[in-house]
Amino acid sequence: MDRRKFICAAGTLAVGLAGMGAASLAGAATPGEGAPGLAGKTLVAALRVRKSERAYADAPLDEAQLLELLWAAFGVNRSDGRRTAPSALNRQEIAIYAARKDGLFLYDAHNGALTRKLKADLRAKTGVQGYVGTAPVNLIYVADMDRVAGGTPEARLVTAGLDTGFISQNVYLYCAAAGLATVARTGIEIPALSKAMGLAANQRVILAQCVGHPKA
């Protein structure tokens, strides 16, 4: 793709994101066009400022904005149920949990909603570094290892990591476009977190990612 076509494609993506309404997210798998979006920058402008940040303001993340971010991360963007991030053999094996002060939630991509799984505040347990518990939201990417593509356990783990990487980068770009702070993290006590979350044997924590407003 030449530079002119790339810029054009990037502009189209930004318009698509900007046209995705917060109001349309409640109960809608595919956000509608024409409603105000919450992430204003073009893709190229977002790429210019994409970064990891580890200092978060106390302010909570608005629910509509979190749903918009999750749609950007791994929402349904086509009528056949395919998603904003690719997955090997379209297995869609990555679940996104959101740890907040008011509990642990699971993202339901097909209904554009969050379902509460636990009432406990698990934020500090999603990582080994001190700042982790200060972020209003900690996303946890969990692979269904029975569903992921690949022949050997090692191949399946690599694939789960790759599929998670696409989702995490969508979150990075959404945050850059919306002026939010984020950092992806593998520094996790996986057995302790899995136990606290009540995960099944086939569910493997792959990555966590803080999201919030940057500390001024």
Ligand X SMILES: Cc1cc2nc3c(=O)[nH]c(=O)nc-3n(C[C@H](O)[C@H](O)[C@H](O)COP(=O)(O)O)c2cc1C
Which region, judged by CB under 6 A, interacts with ligand X, from 37-45, 109-117, 177-185, 196-204? 177-185
Does residue 22 touch ligand X according to CB under 6 A?
no
C-beta closer to ligand X: residue 52 or 202: 52
The residue nearest ligand X at its CB is 187
The yes or no reply on residue 52 touching ligand X (CB under 6 A) is yes
Pairing between strand 94-100 and 137-144? antiparallel
- CA dist 202 and 143 (Å) reads 8
- 137 binding ligand X? (CB under 6 A): no
User: In this chain, which of 23, 44, 51, 155 binds ligand X, going by CB under 6 A?
Assistant: 51
Q: In angstroms, what is the C-alpha Rg of the chain?
A: 17
Of the pair 54, 117, the CB lying nearest ligand X is at: 54
Of the candidates 98, 104, 142, 183, which one interacts with ligand X according to CB under 6 A? 183
What's the closest the beta carbon of residue 15 comes to ligand X, in angstroms?
26
Q: Tokens 């636990």 identify what position? A: 118
Distance CA 103, CA 166 (A): 26
Give the number of residues in contact with ligand X, rule: CB under 6 A. 9
Residue choice 48, 186, 192, 198 for contact with ligand X (CB under 6 A): 186
Residue ranges in contact with ligand X by CB under 6 A: 51-52, 54, 129, 183-187
